[in-house]
Structure 1
Amino acid sequence: MLNVFDIVKLTKINHKEIDSNQIVVTDGNGKPNAVLTELLNDVVSNMQLFVNMTEIYAVDDLLQALSAHTPLPADVLDEYEKILREPIYEINFVPKRGQVEVVVGEG
């Protein structure tokens, strides 16, 4: 089963890496999860600033790179790991908004 990291790593919009404002976390009923979305947006923002994703192939690689190149404390990296390892049940592309909805809970 794919997880959130896989989606962030593999998804491109107009041939560019996904931007933090282009990804939304929802539950199985399509209801946005603001807390998880904000956390994932923070992860993606830090990835874009501090990490070359062409050299990253797993969650552990990403966490090591963020640990080495940012002053993020261990508890923040732990939260990043939780969202990145979250299993994906569906992906919904919203072309009009240029967004990807990642469904992390069953409906």
Structure 2
Amino acid sequence: MLNVFDVVKLTEIDHKEIDSNQVVVTDGNGKPNAVLTELLNDVVGNMRIFINMDEIYSVNDLMKALADHTPLPDDVLDEYEKVLREPIFNINFVPKRGQVELVVGE
């Protein structure tokens, strides 16, 4: 089963890596999960600023790179890791908004 990290790593929109405002976490009914979305947007934003994703192949790689290259405290990195390991049950692409909805927690 894919997790949030896999989708963030593999998904591109118009041949560019997704950025923080293009990914939304929802439940099975399409209801946005504001807490997970905000956390994931923060992760993606920091990834784009500090990390070369061409050299990252797993959540563990990403956590190590963020720990090495950012001043983020351990508790923040722990929360990042939790959202990145969240299993994905479905992916919904919303081309009109340029968004990817990641369905979790079904």
- Same fold, judged at TM 0.5 (above): yes
1:85-96 matched pairs, under 5 angstroms: 85-96=85-96
Extract structure 1 runs of 4+ deviating beyond 2 A.
Answer: none
Q: What TM-score results when the alignment is normalised by the length of structure 2?
A: 0.99
Identical positions, percent: 81
Distance 1:101 1:51 in 2: 23
Distance 1:54 1:18 in 2: 14
CA root-mean-square deviation: 0.3
The AA in structure 2 aligned to 1:54 is: D
Residue number in structure 2 paired with 1:101? 101
Distance 2:17 2:29 in 1: 27
Quick check: 1:25 aligned with 2:45? no
The AA in structure 2 aligned to 1:94 is: V
Matched residue SS, 2:2: coil
Residue number in structure 2 paired with 1:75? 75
The AA in structure 1 aligned to 2:12 is: K
How many pairs were matched up?
Answer: 106
Distance 1:39 1:72 in 2: 13
Q: CA deviation at 1:61?
A: 0.2
- Gapped runs of 5+ residues in structure 1? none
Q: What TM-score results when the alignment is normalised by the length of structure 1?
A: 0.98
Distance 2:52 2:13 in 1: 17
Q: CA deviation at 1:105?
A: 1.5
Q: CA deviation at 1:96?
A: 0.1
